[in-house]
Amino acid sequence: MQTYAYRFPRLGRNREFKTAVENFWDNKINDKELVGLLDAVEKERLASYKKYIDIFPLGESTYYDTILDTAFIFGVYKFKNLNEYFEYARGKRALALKKYFNSNYHYLVPFLPKGIKFPLTWNKPFLYADASSFKGNPVSLIGPYTFLRLSRTENDFNSMMANLCESYKRLFAQLKTNGVHTVHLEEPAFCDDVSGDDVRLIVKNYRNLIDGDLKINLITYYGSVDFLPRLYGIPFHAFALDFVSNRENFLTLSKKGFPKDKKIICGVVDGRGIKRCNIFDAVKFTRKIQKICHASDESVLVSNSAPLFHVPVTIENETVLDASIKKNLSFAQEKLYELYLIKSAWEGKTASARAWCAHLPAERSVAKKKVFDTLSLKPGEFAQRKSIQQKVLKLPLFPVTTIGSFPQDKELRKARFEFKSKHLSLHDYDDFIRDKISGLIEKEEELGLDVLVHGEFERTDMVEYFAQRLTGFLTTENGWVISYGTRVYRPPIIYKKITRNNVLALKEMFYAQSLVPRIVKGILSGPVTILAWSYNLRPEPVYEIAFELAAALNKEAKALEANKIKIVQIDEPAIREFAPLKERDKDFYYRWAVRAFNIAAQLSPYTQVHLHMCYSEFGEIIKWILKMNFDVLTVEAARDKGKILAALSGKNFDRSLGPGVWDIHSKYPASEKTIRTILDKSIKIVGVRNVWINPDCGLKTRAWPEVETSLQRMVKIARIYRKKFKKHRVK
Ligand code: GLN
Ligand code: ZN
């Protein structure tokens, strides 16, 4: 048996990737220097593999995103230099960001126009390796079906697939001439819902694409492949299957067997969680797979179950994490070691494996599919709340607000750093934050915003901050994970019962409200999002943890309400992303997820509840959004100038809507024309009286000049619209 691993994080042990790319953007280094720095990170990444892994792909790295790279390889876009490359990620030509399946990694969405022929354009597979290094290793590529599913397509899908596969065929031929013998082809979309028509399309095109001369390892992850047996007739060299997400792949193999001539790459080490792997269970399980597949030792490989970029680089970077917890954890580097241990134990060498698993706690119990009551209000109750709130809040038409965070500048990062390194006392740090808050409040009044926010300066991150104040969480020092491009976050770790023993963020919000008569909106991160963006070590079913979190957050929300905060916003950007991929599993998930939100949002009708979601394709889950107890929904809408809002049409949406009118991933300020277009669309959908104006999301990563310009424009347009629709005002 052999070890196989893929998608080890590109970030670098000390976030060297992020530093290098951002320095390039800031013109601190040139493109040659950038390439040099990234080569060094890549070398270290490959060295991690080489230490423990028999087979790993080459060419996995990227300047920004692998899906964007695939678009460049197949001529959807072209670039001549790195500045042009990054234009597609963050410049004038920036593509939309979307969550990669049900993960918090965001990819760039290519647009494939009618008739596109996919000319081979970029030689990426040769970027990180010369022909000699291909010897034992496959070359990494995203598969055609996944690429199409993740893109926005204008043409008929079938002919596009045929054209694209022709290009893959040509690419494969080129690879072969250049000494490549194996391709690592990732098709996670095979684990999504795939229609019967698509299965036929896949089978037909792959038959034509693969001639057996070049070996193709088909890599699937994030779930099971329902149509696996249909792929048996295609001359793939190996199948990588996820055995961690659920038992379905295993059941398929038990029922349908596995072709004798193919290798099976068993994804048994969790690529997405950080719980240490029980090596002996993994060996036992892999033996079982071997048996039902009637496979020889040579045909079995062990692997990670999903890309390793979902976990931080190494646990070695954690110096203060509680030792009793640390010995139950494993990050990417350690997962490679686990694969090596599985192989060793398989071969009878068990001493190291024994030491590795000496302290493992109980396994997670499988969540039983109960039908939870979502605790939704009746439709009429929202109208009642609306009329009460109109009297309490006395807001103008088209109230202008923001989503919560404001630019976190150097000064703030410096203060945080000094506080952390004990050069600044808690008292002085608190004073500093208060000054930031009062400065912002003044600024917001000056700008003429209608509902103010305190700016979230105390929060490093919307999840980590809450995790640090709730009981039941641990946070890491260096457990960074990329969420998109060079943006990183540190997911906290849930390890015991979650309770709110201390206040979370209300001090800062009360302070902000004490400064002004104008309404300050209190902002909390939602239970599902906190759960989705944390690692979970607990054995209980996941919904129980969601309800615990929701109850803790509701305590905080109630405390806000009891202290003059009239609007409470709960952020749930992760609610769709955390959903299982397949339709048949969704009802169960959304029932408990909506219930969790509704527990957190249980407030009197005098308190207006805002739900903020972003980059979550809310259009697909309207049915569930309507079951959530909020009064105002804020969603991103700027990139496609409000087209996304059409999803709300004809759905009896009886609440208010705050469409994002400024794309906060772009460095350019909001345009007045776009603001107007989006407002006009919103008015058509929810009516004049129910439209708010706000940016797509928080402004944490933006700079003040563009923030100021954008907010000024929003206020200006709001005033124009108020005049225009004067007669609609509620007296
Ligand atoms: N309130 C958060 C902010 O403004 C929301 C962030 C998010 O939705 N991702 O930063
Ligand atoms: Zn957001």
pLDDT tens-digit profile of 501-532? 999 989 999 999 999 999 999 999 999 999 99
Residue 200 has pLDDT above 70, yes or no: yes
Distance 552 CA to ligand 1 centre (A): 19
Q: Which 3 state secondary structure label does DSSP give 520?
A: strand
* pLDDT (mean) for 93-118: 92
Q: Which of 173-182, 274-283, 560-569, 589-598 has the lowest mean pLDDT?
A: 173-182
What does the chain come to in residues?
731
404 lines ligand 1 (CB under 6 A): yes
Q: How far apart are CA 92 and CA 100, in angstroms?
A: 23
532 lines ligand 1 (CB under 6 A): no
Distance 703 CA to ligand 1 centre (A): 16
Distance 405 CA to ligand 1 centre (A): 6
Distance 283 CA to ligand 2 centre (A): 42
Supply the pLDDT for residue 621.
Answer: 92
Instruction: Pick 2-10+43-356's CATH classification: 3.40.50.11540, 3.30.930.10, 3.30.1360.70, 3.20.20.210.
Output: 3.20.20.210
Q: Give the pLDDT band (50/70/90) at residue 218.
A: very high
Distance 404 CA to ligand 1 centre (A): 6
In sign, the C-alpha dihedral spanning 635, 641, 645, 647 is: negative
CA 349 to chain centre: 39
Q: Closest by alpha carbon to 141, among 74, 80, 77?
A: 74
CATH number of 383-726: 3.20.20.210
pTM above 0.85, yes or no: yes
698 lines ligand 1 (CB under 6 A): yes
State which residues have CB under 5 angstroms from ligand 2, the bound ion. Answer: 573, 614, 697
Looking from the CA of residue 459, the nearest atom of ligand 1 is 10
Q: Do domains 2-10+43-356 and 383-726 have the same CATH topology?
A: yes
Distance 461 CA to ligand 1 centre (A): 9
97 lines ligand 1 (CB under 6 A): no
User: What would the two tokens of residue 731 be?
Assistant: 């007296």
Residue 157 has pLDDT above 60, yes or no: yes
Q: What type of residue sits at position 483?
A: S
Supply the pLDDT for residue 129.
Answer: 54
Residue 78 has pLDDT above 60, yes or no: yes
* pLDDT (mean) for 322-342: 96
Query: Domain residues of the chain, as ranges?
Result: 2-10+43-356, 383-726
Supply the pLDDT for residue 131.
Answer: 53
Mean pLDDT for the chain overall: 94
* pLDDT (mean) for 448-476: 96
Q: Tell me the CB-side half-sphere exposure of residue 144, using CA atoms within 13 A.
A: 27
522 lines ligand 1 (CB under 6 A): no
Looking from the CA of residue 569, the nearest atom of ligand 1 is 1
Could you give the C-alpha distances from 13 to 224, 261, 379, in angstroms and in order?
32, 39, 51
171 lines ligand 1 (CB under 6 A): no
> What residue's CA is closest to ligand 1, atom 10?
698
Q: In testing the pocket of ligand 1, which one of 401, 403, 461, 635 has its CB within 8 Å of the most ligand atoms?
A: 403
Q: How far apart are CA 489 and CA 478, in angstroms?
A: 9
Distance 205 CA to ligand 1 centre (A): 42
* pLDDT (mean) for 411-436: 95
Supply the pLDDT for residue 244.
Answer: 97
Chain position carrying tokens 């009551």: 373
Are 138 and 55 in contact by the 8 Å Cβ rule? The answer is: yes
Supply the pLDDT for residue 130.
Answer: 57
Selecting among 184, 237, 310, 665, the annotated active-site residue is: 665
* pLDDT (mean) for 306-311: 98
* pLDDT (mean) for 117-142: 80
Looking from the CA of residue 698, the nearest atom of ligand 1 is 4
* pLDDT (mean) for 567-573: 97
User: What would the two tokens of residue 165 be?
Assistant: 């596969």
Are 631 and 665 in contact by the 8 Å Cβ rule? The answer is: no
Q: Give the pLDDT band (50/70/90) at residue 367.
A: low
* pLDDT (mean) for 298-312: 98
Looking from the CA of residue 573, the nearest atom of ligand 1 is 8
Q: Which of 30-39, 209-218, 556-565 has the lowest mean pLDDT?
A: 209-218
Q: In testing the pocket of ligand 1, which one of 402, 462, 524 has its CB within 8 Å of the most ligand atoms?
A: 462
Q: For the segment 686-700, what is each residue's pLDDT rounded down to a tens digit?
A: 999 999 999 999 999
Q: For the segment 221-272, what is each residue's pLDDT rounded down to a tens digit?
A: 999 999 999 999 999 999 999 999 999 999 999 999 999 999 999 999 999 9
DSSP 250-310: HHHHHHH---TTSEEEEEEE-SS--BPP-HHHHHHHHHHHHHHHT--GGGEEEEESS-GGG
Ligand closest to the CA atom of residue 403: 1
697 lines ligand 1 (CB under 6 A): yes
Q: Give the pLDDT band (50/70/90) at residue 616.
A: confident
Q: Give the pLDDT band (50/70/90) at residue 134.
A: low
Supply the pLDDT for residue 730.
Answer: 74
Active site residue 665: yes
614 lines ligand 1 (CB under 6 A): yes
Supply the pLDDT for residue 97.
Answer: 85
> What residue's CA is closest to ligand 1, atom 9?
573
Ligand closest to the CA atom of residue 572: 1
Q: In testing the pocket of ligand 1, which one of 466, 567, 571, 696 has its CB within 8 Å of the most ligand atoms?
A: 571
Q: Give the pLDDT band (50/70/90) at residue 731.
A: low
307 lines ligand 1 (CB under 6 A): no
Strand order in the sheet with 139-142: 2-3, 300-304, 263-269, 238-242, 215-219, 182-186, 139-142
Q: Closest by alpha carbon to 151, among 203, 192, 96?
A: 96
Q: Give the pLDDT band (50/70/90) at residue 661.
A: very high
Q: Tell me the CB-side half-sphere exposure of residue 335, using CA atoms within 13 A.
A: 30
462 lines ligand 1 (CB under 6 A): yes
Q: Closest by alpha carbon to 243, among 301, 195, 329?
A: 301
Q: How far apart are CA 148 and CA 164, in angstroms?
A: 9
Residue 397 has pLDDT above 60, yes or no: yes
